[in-house]
Each structure stands twice: as C-alpha cells, then as structure tokens.
C-alpha cells in the first residue's frame, strides 16, 4: 500500500547527521541562566496541607514549585554537562531526510541479528528521542542483555515534526495523521516492507494511525496509552464495575487538575511560545510539569534540546493542529497491544475495544508511570518483546 506521493525529482536522500552544538549557543544559555529572574509564589504552608488530591502532588497545587525550578536551574547553570549527553546521543547513527516538505531527524540503529524485526519508536511531549536511549541496547541486541536473539529489533527513532532536531514546522497540518503518513514514507525510504510501531504519549496517538494507513506494512501497534474516553452516550456507562468507576474518576481528576497545558496548546500555542523562546527557565518549568517524575538529568537534557532547537512553539502547535483535525470514527484494525503502568491512567477496556477492534494484548503493570522508559524500562522492554514475539513467530 502506498501512503505518500513521490513526485518525479523529489529529494528522497537520507543524510547522516552528527549533533554538534556551537559553543556560543551553550555560552548564551548559561548567560541567560545567570541572569534569571524568578517568579514569586505563596508560602508553602498556604499552598498545601500535605494531602494529595488525585494526581496532584502536595506542593504542586498551583503548578511547578519555585524551589524545584531553582534547584534545576542551579544544576543546569553550574554542573550540567551538555557535551556528555551530546556524546551519548552521537553513540548512535543519526540521519535527516525531507518528507512532505519537512525536515525529519531520526536515529537508525540496526541490530546485529539479521532477521531482527524493524520497529519505529515514537516519543511524546515534552520528551524527545532521549526518551528511548535506555531501550536501544536491549531491543537491538537482546543477547548482549541476557535475552533471546529472536527478540531483536532494527530501530528507527524519529523526532516528531516540529520537535527537537526535526526543527520547527513551517506549514499547518502537522497532526497525528500527517505524522503517521511521514512515518510510513520514512520506513519505505529505509527499505522496510514490514515493521512494528511503538509509541508513548503523543506516540500513542501517532502509532495507531500508522497502523490504520499502512495495514499491509504494520505488523502490530504497541502503545503505553490508548486514549479512549466516553463519547457521552449514557449506554456506555451501563454495567460498570467499581474498578471501572475508579478509573473514570482518575481520568476526570486528571482532566480537571493536570490538563491545562494541553488546553492552552490546543487553543493558543503562540501565547506562551514567545516567553519560552526567550527564557530557558520558562522552557524548563513548562516541560517539568510533566517530566518532574524523571531524574534531573533527563529533564535538563530535554529542556536543553527544546531550547537549542527553539521548538517550544512548533511542538505546542502539534496540539493545536491535532485538536482542529478531522479524525476517523471507525476503529483501527491493526493488531494492538497496550502496556499500561500503575502510575499512569488506564483506559477502560470497553472504550478501547470501541476504538480499536483488534486488541490482542492488554497488560496492567504493577509499577511505573507515564514515562515508563525511565521508571520501568525492564517491564516495558519485556512487554514490547512479548507482543511482537506473539505476532512474528
């Protein structure tokens, strides 16, 4: 199945890339951090009574606390080593190519196992390809990590259009569907006729659409979230169990208390983008609202990537474009697997089955959170391996 047009003379070249940030940009970042002006906040004893309410952590009721930001800014300014992370990224082969008029950056790491399954991994917001660094070794070379050679993958790890090293987008319409078409073209361009897809966060929107538009190529779709919610039909709530109602309550609390970032980016992404493009401290705080469960180095590395590439606005625009897109109403049909983690929301199976008619694997893990690559990579790796093992053997 062909999913993209390829006009005669179109540039389909794949170009090697080495990440080398000019020192002047790093010096400018440090200079800005040295001149930071912090915001004010209420005294801690007025902000919280120490009681956690839903997904909101005590002390974070009004948003990212000043103390947290000050600690990370000091680390960023005084001891964070971008060159270390730059070298870590450059341990893997990086490339760029132009698809549908957009620069696309990606890692392409082939397994030493010749019969490995090709797999495209799609990160989320406000993350980057850094999200998957810890998975590359175990997935591409399972034997070296105590696994079975039959579980090996050739990995393609792209930066979402408008995110990080893919650079800003310059046209309207870069939503989940246009991204999925770009991924299908990327895999075709790399010579992969059959492949799997995995995604987290935004990647959990894009990956099922890749399965929808390229059913002859996509072996299966593995995600860490299925964003299936009530449609408003009262009949959907009949026969719900107490556990179902508990899940619904969590979703409602998340929507009420933790989704302001999504509403802003869906409706007016440029409103905040001017501040984020001018202030690395603002950029840090904005992404920390969702990344704070990760270690400081992970948060700062992502903040540095967004800052250096000036992609706060274009990554936020993804939300706007997706919110204003027309989405198919028919369910997906690709074999689908869900790995849900204890500290992330779990969709209700009845809603997931409504939207994805071929769910073949559903696992609710006892630990881990929204960024499972960081706090439960062993469980996630095992789940990915098991899902595709079932489909390919």
Catalytic residues: 201, 319, 370
Cis peptide before 126 (omega within 30 of 0): yes
The sign of the torsion formed by the CA atoms of 83, 86, 90, 92 equals positive
Pairwise CA distance, residues 224 & 201, whole Å: 7
User: Burial, 7: exposed, middle or buried (Cβ in 10 Å; 0-12, 13-18, 19+)?
Assistant: exposed
CA neighbor of 68 nearest in space, from 47, 54, 89: 47
| Cα 361 to Cα 213: distance, rounded to the nearest angstrom | 21
Strand arrangement of the beta sheet that strand 359-365 belongs to: 14-17, 94-99, 102-109, 153-158, 117-122, 195-199, 218-223, 336-341, 359-365
Distances (CA, A) of 148 to 138, 164, 187, 373, 382: 10, 33, 25, 20, 11
Buried b (16+ CB within 10 A) or exposed e, 19-49: beeeeeeeeebeeebeebeeeeeeeeeeebe
102 alpha-carbon distance from chain centroid: 19
| Nearest alpha-carbon partner for 72 in 286, 217, 240, 260 | 286
Contact call for residues 59 and 48 (beta carbons, < 8 A): yes
């Amino acid at each position: 199945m062909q999913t993209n047009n390829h006009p005669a003379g179109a540039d389909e070249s794949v170009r090697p890339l080495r990440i080398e940030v000019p020192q002047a940009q790093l010096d400018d970042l440090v200079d800005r951090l040295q001149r930071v002006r912090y915001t004010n906040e209420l005294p801690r004893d007025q902000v919280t009574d120490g009681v956690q309410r839903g997904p909101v952590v005590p002390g974070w009721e009004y948003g990212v606390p000043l103390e947290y930001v000050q600690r990370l800014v000091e680390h960023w300014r005084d001891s964070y080593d971008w060159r270390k992370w730059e070298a870590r990224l450059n341990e893997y082969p990086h490339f760029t190519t132009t698809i549908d008029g957009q620069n696309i950056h990606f890692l392409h790491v082939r397994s030493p196992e010749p019969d490995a399954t090709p797999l495209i991994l799609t990160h989320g917001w406000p993350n980057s390809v850094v999200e998957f660094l810890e998975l590359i070794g175990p997935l591409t070379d399972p034997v070296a990590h105590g696994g079975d050679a039959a579980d090996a993958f050739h990995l393609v790890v792209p930066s979402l259009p408008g995110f990080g090293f893919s650079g800003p987008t310059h046209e309207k319409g870069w939503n989940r569907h246009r991204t999925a078409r770009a991924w299908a073209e990327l895999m075709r361009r790399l010579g992969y006729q059959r492949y799997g897809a995995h995604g987290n966060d935004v990647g959990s929107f894009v990956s099922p659409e890749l399965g929808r538009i390229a059913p002859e190529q996509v072996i299966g779709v593995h995600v860490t979230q299925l964003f299936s919610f009530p449609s408003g039909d009262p009949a959907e709530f009949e026969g719900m169990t107490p556990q179902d109602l508990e899940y619904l309550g969590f979703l409602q609390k998340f929507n009420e208390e933790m989704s302001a970032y999504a509403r802003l980016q869906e409706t007016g992404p440029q409103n905040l983008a001017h501040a984020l493009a001018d202030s690395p401290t603002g950029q840090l705080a904005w992404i920390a609202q969702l990344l704070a469960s990760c270690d400081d180095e992970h948060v700062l590395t992502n903040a540095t990537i967004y800052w250096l590439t000036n992609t706060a606005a274009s990554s936020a625009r993804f939300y706007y474009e997706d919110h204003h897109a027309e989405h198919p109403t028919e369910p997906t049909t690709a074999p689908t697997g869900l790995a849900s983690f204890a500290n992330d929301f779990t969709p209700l199976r009845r809603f997931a089955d409504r939207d994805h008619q071929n769910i073949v694997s559903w696992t609710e893990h006892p630990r881990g959170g929204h960024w499972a690559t960081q706090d439960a990579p062993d469980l996630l790796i095992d789940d990915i391996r098991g899902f595709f093992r079932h489909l390919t053997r």
